[in-house]
Amino acid sequence: MLMSTTPLLTADERDAILEAVRDFSDTELAPFAIERDEHKIFPRDALRKAGELGLGGISLREDVGGSGLGRSEAVQIFEALAHGDTAVAAYISIHNMAAWMIDTYGTEAQRTAWLPRLVTMGDLASYCLTEPGAGSDAAALQTRAVRDGDDYVLTGVKQFISGAGEASVYVVMARTGDAGARGISAFLVDAALPGLSFGQLERKMGWNAQPTRQVILDGVRVPASALLGAEGQGFKIAMSGLDGGRLNIAACSIGGAQWALDRTVRYVHERFGVGRAARRERGRRVRDRRHGDRPGGIPRARARRRRGARREGSGCHDAVRHGQAIRDGCRIPRRERSPATARRLRLPAGLRYREGGARPARAPDPRGHQRDHAHDRRPRGAARVRACLGPR
């Protein structure tokens, strides 16, 4: 089995990557987030642009077009994306997780068949573990894959699948053996296969910019070459994908929370902006209320996520608990560190990997969405109040 690379970046390289991702988030996600949620628009064009930037294969190896970045960079990227649109960022994270599973456990034929298309995000991937009767207890899944000559025939229903109906490939966990985790195998199911269909869009309170549906497998016949890893290894593969996937989703939640907090503090400044001390005090109270009177809610969450990413990236895969996999003796492989240099992200014109880390000029901002960032440069204190009141 081949492992992903985890190259080390310089601080300048990391800054340049995050700068490019923030610009993408500011220009392609944030301005449209409300409209996409309201009208349930899954932004295929924005996803393709994310692919052009290298966000379709953040931790994938370079031979298939991946960006070869490690977990620490990935979580910072997802936090920055979620600052623009949490739902889209979360889908990009799920797509990356499924692609990573193919990169890590797939044969060369599977890797070359799927990954070059997935890194562009022209083609998308979905992860199918949950079922109507198997959520937290995923090892109880019922979908069956029965060997029939050179094929497997898959039958069952997968629930709450992100990207269902849009993805080109579904990484489906199905039962090939007895009850329990060891009886589960993973398959790459092509969206074009007969017998595959999708349920209605789930009704959600948010996250409407990414489709969530059932994936229904009614006698879907896949060739034996669609088996990912070995028979009986599917639960281990699913859990090792979630090791990183959960950290990425945590990063998305932090990005969304940071956006909400930034907005709240700005509102408090503008609404009650009489005197620096009053503003600071009100901002602190709002922050504390939002986070259960515990100081440092978001920074604390970020520090925990960072610790988890460091451990997971360095091969300590128990950073995220996957108790069942461990209980069942499924060993999660260490990632090998490779001396290979990463291709990094394809930075847009004007952004360079460079010494010194000075911020480059921002892209034009016709919709004014950079106001949040510009806020810090506005006049403060009494000068700000005077500016708001205008000339007397």
Ligand X SMILES: Cc1cc2nc3c(=O)[nH]c(=O)nc-3n(C[C@H](O)[C@H](O)[C@H](O)COP(=O)(O)OP(=O)(O)OC[C@H]3O[C@@H](n4cnc5c(N)ncnc54)[C@H](O)[C@@H]3O)c2cc1C
> Which residue minimizes CB distance to ligand X?
135
Nearer to ligand X among residue 68 and residue 245 (C-beta): 245
Closest CA to 256 of 70, 96, 25, 57: 25
Is 146 in a helix, a strand, or coil?
A: strand
Q: How far is the CB of 122 from ligand X (least distance, A)?
A: 20
Tokens of 195: 């017998």
Put residue 141 in one of left, alpha, beta given phi > 0 → left and psi -120 to 50 → alpha.
beta
Q: How far is the CB of 161 from ligand X (least distance, A)?
A: 5
Residues that bind ligand X (CB under 6 A): 94, 126-130, 135-136, 160-162, 204, 207, 212
Closest CA to 384 of 265, 306, 275, 256: 275
Nearer to ligand X among residue 238 and residue 345 (C-beta): 238
Q: How far is the CB of 94 from ligand X (least distance, A)?
A: 5
Give Cβ neighbours of residue 329 (< 8 Å, ≥ 6 apart): none
**Backbone torsions φ then ψ of 222, nearest 5 degrees:** -115, 150
Nearer to ligand X among residue 160 and residue 259 (C-beta): 160
Nearer to ligand X among residue 70 and residue 244 (C-beta): 244
CA distance 176 to 48: 35
Please provide the DSSP assignment of 224-291 as one string. Answer: GGGEESSTT-HHHHHHHHHHHHHHHHHHHHHHHHHHHHHHHHHHHHHHS-SSHHHHHHHHHHHHHHHT
CA distance 261 to 336: 38
Sequence length of the chain is 392
Nearer to ligand X among residue 110 and residue 162 (C-beta): 162
Nearer to ligand X among residue 133 and residue 275 (C-beta): 133
Looking only at the bridges linking them, the beta strands covering 184-190 and 169-175 are antiparallel
Q: How far is the CB of 344 from ligand X (least distance, A)?
A: 28
Q: How far is the CB of 162 from ligand X (least distance, A)?
A: 3
Nearer to ligand X among residue 133 and residue 357 (C-beta): 133
CA distance 124 to 62: 18
Q: How far is the CB of 340 from ligand X (least distance, A)?
A: 30
Nearer to ligand X among residue 13 and residue 166 (C-beta): 166
Q: How far is the CB of 351 from ligand X (least distance, A)?
A: 32
Q: How far is the CB of 21 from ligand X (least distance, A)?
A: 22
> Counting beta carbons within 10 angstroms of the beta carbon of residue 192, is it exposed (0 to 12), middle (13 to 18) or buried (19 or more)?
exposed
Give the relative orientation of helices 11-24 and 44-53 as an angle to the nearest 10 degrees: 160
